[in-house]
Amino acid sequence: MGGYAVAFLVALGVTLAVMPFVRRLAIRAGAVVPPNPHGVHTRPMVSLGGAGMFMGFVVAMAVASQIPQFHEMFNGSSEPLGVMLAAAVMFAVGALDDLRDVSPPAKIAGMVLAGGVLSLFGVQMLFFRVPFLLNDTVVLSADLAPVVTVLMVVLFANAINLIDGLDGLAGGICAIAGTALFLYSDRLFKNGFLEGSNLAPLIAVIA
């Protein structure tokens, strides 16, 4: 657990430390959302907050790669690099959208690219379970796994984007989901159902 705590604190600390600079940069770049009839804010809100979160994520991943507890995750695996590259793609799309409106097809293309990067580096959805409907685990074929992986990235990215109408709402929901994912992954690991090289618990803690 110690390594996870260190990674979490690094991600949190870096994000909080750079946010004032990101805010000033966003104001200077004009990345400000004015009040509108469809929103709940009564004053202009600064966007580009994803820049601070992305920096915290990258630094935390770099620190985690040097912690002995996580050596099995980083040594000999391309998955951590794939996750970071996919995160960079998603951040780039979001930052461009904050600075200038990106068309929906272009956003979808960016999400598909991020999902494709994940799949290319070995981060794929290989199976899933449907509670109460199917008794057996649904195992995806080698052809279907990349497609489903990309589809899940697009679906979840859009789901988070759709609820991002209130400052802190999307981040709060992601924090709750990340906590649940970490606790579930940690339980699976302790019961021998999850390999030590699986990135899920670490990503859940710092993303």
Are 32 and 26 a contacting pair, CB within 8 Å? yes
DSSP string, the chain: -HHHHHHHHHHHHHHHHHHHHHHHHHHHHT-EE---TTS--SS-EE--HHHHHHHHHHHHHHHHTTSGGGHHHHTT-SHHHHHHHHHHHHHHHHHHHHHSPPPHHHHHHHHHHHHHHHHHTT----EE--TTT-SS-EEPPTTHHHHHHHHHHHHHHHHHHHTTTSTTHHHHHHHHHHHHHHHHHHHHHHTTSS-TT--HHHHHHH-
For residue range 1-20, what is the model confidence (pLDDT) as tens digits?
A: 688 999 999 999 999 999 99
Instruction: Answer with the residue of higher pLDDT: 193 or 61.
Output: 61
The Cα–Cα gap between 121 and 115 comes to 10
For residue range 42-76, what is the model confidence (pLDDT) as tens digits?
A: 677 777 888 889 999 999 999 999 999 898 888 87
For residue range 113-166, what is the model confidence (pLDDT) as tens digits?
A: 999 999 999 999 888 877 776 667 788 888 999 999 999 999 999 988 888 766
The Cα–Cα gap between 203 and 193 comes to 18
| 25-29, 37-41, 127-131, range with the lowest pLDDT | 37-41
Report pLDDT for 41: 66
* For residues 29-41, average pLDDT: 70
| 25-29, 41-45, 95-99, range with the lowest pLDDT | 41-45
pTM: 0.85
Report pLDDT for 36: 67
Report pLDDT for 84: 95
Instruction: Answer with the residue of higher pLDDT: 106 or 205.
Output: 106
Question: 79-99 vs 49-64: helix axis angle to the nearest 10?
Answer: 170
The Cα–Cα gap between 25 and 14 comes to 16
Angle at the Cα of 188 from the Cα atoms of 177 and 196, rounded to 5 degrees: 100
Q: CB neighbours of 156 closer than 8 A, spacing ≥ 6?
A: none
